[in-house]
Amino acid sequence: MSKQLYKNTRILSGLIIRRDRVRIPVWLISLSALTIIVAAAFTDLYKNEGERQALADTMKNPAMTAMVGQGYGLENYTNGAMMAHQMLLFTLMAVAIMSILLVVRHTRADEEDGRIEMIRALPAGRLANLTSTILVLVGTNVLLALIVGFGLTALGIESMDLEGSLLYGAALGATGIVFTAITALFAQLSESSRGTIGFSITILLIAYLIRAIGDVSNEALSWLSPLGWVLGSEVFVNNYWSPILLTVSVAFILVVLSLYLNATRDLEAGFLPAKPGKKKASSFLLSPLGLAFRLQRTGLVAWAVGMLILGASYGSVLGDLESFFAGNDIMQNLVTPSEGFTLTEQFLTMLMSVISMICTIPPLMAMLKLKGEERKNRTDHLLSRSVSRIRLMGSYLLISIVCGFVMLSLAAIGLGAVGNSVMEEGIAFGRLYSAAMVYLPAIWIMIGLAVLLIGIAPKLSGLVWVYLAYSFFVVYLGGLLQLPEWMSRLSPYDHIPNLPVEELDYMKVVILTIIAIVTIAVGFIGYKKRDV
């Protein structure tokens, strides 16, 4: 019986590797190259202790803690400590996303598309597909851990010894493995691949936020988050291995649970109930716009709630930040205060650029949905009726643009409401809201790029994510790595005036908007002309 359940796992693992022979190496190479290059660059840039310590001092504030984690070894800020502090958390998030996407691709997505049915009708065990997916993902993550571990050691940086480097790698690998397990579980619970991705990413964001709030206010809370565990290994500072063990053990339990659920359920069924739909289409649904919205309603609502929470979480830090600045003279000197603005407001500008980038994700998903529908040949149903391509794409564009506005507004509202309730000297809501809204043209440019790619090179439309990741990279690390200015100028977010500290430069905003309009227009023309 038990042998039967896993029959042919080996062959199916081979199939997964065969299918992902490009995808997995690309992930592995990008993640390890990013880590190793940044480590080398940090060491190059911050050569002596004084420079590093000065940087550490600017990091010692609740806003940074919320963003990148508590930071261990801030008193003796070695290159290793700096690497673990600045880079580990975001790399963990990227590894988690890699694991989520790969697991869904080989479990629920394959099942939803009816491919697992073909496999299951052959002498392959009931659990063979899930098991082989998990095995391949564990292998990928272990490989990542080893490449990063030995790669960092090979740099020969004094504070990054073999043990610390391996632990750094292991932290990445363990996170990947635990999110493999979480996704495997949701692949059993949810009936769709979108649902599985949605739930797993939600868990990732919750893990991030819990850790953020915990790190700032109550350390015990951080231990509820897998990201908190992994950061608690204090890589390059104290090198604790037990959190890694804990993470992997939890992953193991989740894997057992998901295998159990998989063995008992029907193919293509889930455990979370999908409620019966309506018998008739509401009149709203009967337009391309209504349909496009209906298809992604649940996801968009979830993102909206998420953005509100995101804003609120960052808002909750503002109070701590304010009292922190009040009692800290060094800080007062370090960040040269601009005339008439509080330090909190200055931090707000950085917060806004990060928030606006996160708020770009749902509108991009909304726009790219058009391509997803096309790939499944579902746009044919509309285009073969009296719906023009312009109208079809226009519907998705409209949703995407409204979505960007709504997401940004909600994040700003969450930030303002919670922030002002915890600060003594609040920030006028109008000021805060316009500091958020000024980022809309950057979001439009990102949407415009998505439209352009869908219209001209639909196969490459994933590049818009790469561009967003790049923007995040240069804004987040540009200063630290002292990257040349042109590199950050390539990101639209960099050109947005930092309200309220900077003046609102209308010229810039108008130019950005015009660029967005032009890319959108070219995308529309391309879409009208190309094969669908």
Partner 1 sequence: MSVLKTTNLIKRFGEFTALDGVNIEVNEGEVYGFIGPNGAGKSTTIRILLGILKATDGEAKIFGLDAWEDAVDIHKRIAYVPGDVNLWPNLTGGEVIDLFVKLRGSNNKSSRREELIGKFDLDPSKKCRTYSKGNRQKVALISAFSSDADLYILDEPTSGLDPLMERVFQECVLEAKSAGKSIILSSHILSEVERLCDKVGIIRHGKIIETGTLNELRHLTRTSLVVETKQPLTGLNEISGVHGIEKKNHAFVFQVDAEELDNVIKHVSNFGILSLESAPPTLEDLFMRHYEGTGKTLKTGVGGAK
Residues of this chain that bind partner 1 (CB under 8 A): 1, 4, 7-8, 11-12, 15, 18-19, 113-115, 117-126, 264-267, 273
Provide the minimum distance between the beta carbon of 14 and partner 1 in the complex, in angstroms, as a whole number: 9
Contact 455, 527 (CB under 8 A): yes
| C-beta of residue 88 within 8 angstroms of C-beta of residue 168 | yes
The structure tokens listed for 238 are: 């104290």
Distances (CA, A) of 84 to 3, 172, 238, 351: 43, 11, 11, 21
**Identity of the residue, 267 or 390, whose beta carbon is nearer to partner 1 in the bound complex:** 267
Q: Which is nearer to partner 1, 1 or 220 (CB)?
A: 1
Burial level of 121, CB count in 10 A (0-12/13-18/19+)? exposed
Dist CA 469 CA 99 (whole Å): 17
Is the Cβ–Cβ distance between 213 and 316 less than 8 Å? Answer: yes
- Cα(440)–Cα(427) distance, rounded to whole angstroms? 21
9 or 43, CB closer to partner 1?
9
The SS3 of residue 282 is coil
Instruction: Give the pair of three-digit tokens for residue 397.
Output: 């564009």
Q: CB-wise, 88 or 124, nearer to partner 1?
A: 124
Q: In this structure, are residues 364 and 450 in contact, taking their beta carbons and an 8 Å threshold?
A: yes
Q: What single letter denotes the amino acid at residue 262?
A: N
Looking at beta carbons only, is 273 or 340 nearer to partner 1?
A: 273
163: CB partners within 8 A, 6+ apart: 239
Least CB distance from residue 109 to partner 1, whole Å?
A: 11
CB of 194 to partner 1, least distance (A): 17
Residue 272 or residue 428: which is nearer to partner 1 going by CB? 272
Cα separation, 37 vs 30, whole angstroms: 10
Q: Which is nearer to partner 1, 266 or 424 (CB)?
A: 266
Least distance (Å) between residue 103 CB and partner 1? 16
We find the least distance from the C-beta atom of residue 249 to partner 1, in angstroms, to be 30
Alpha carbon distance 5, 460 (integer Å): 39
Cis upstream peptide for 500 (omega within 30°): yes
Least distance in angstroms from the C-beta of 128 to partner 1? 9
**Site of tokens 């949810």:** 190
Residue 266 C-beta: closest distance to partner 1, Å? 5
| Nearest approach, Cβ of residue 11 and partner 1 (Å) | 6
- Dihedrals φ, ψ of 239, to 5°? 50, 60
Residue 16 CB, shortest distance to partner 1, in Å, is 10
Query: Closest distance between partner 1 and the C-beta of residue 452, in Å?
Result: 24
Dihedral pair phi/psi, residue 387, rounded to 5°: -115, 125
C-beta of 7 vs 60, nearer to partner 1 = 7
CA distance 268 to 188: 9
Nearest to 59 by CA among 36, 41, 84, 38: 84
Specify the residue, 126 or 211, whose C-beta has the smaller distance to partner 1: 126
Nearer to partner 1, 7 or 371 (CB): 7
Q: How far is the CB of 269 from partner 1 (least distance, A)?
A: 8
CB of 118 to partner 1, least distance (A): 7
Is the separation of the CB atoms in 232 and 240 below 8 Å?
A: yes
Return the number of the residue (6 or 347) whose C-beta is nearest partner 1.
Answer: 6
Please report where in the chains the tokens 């004084």 appear, as a residue. 50
Helix ranges (H only) for 269-342 are: 288-326, 329-334
- Indicate the residue among 67 and 119 with the shorter CB distance to partner 1: 119
Residue among 291, 459, 451 nearest 375 (CA)? 459
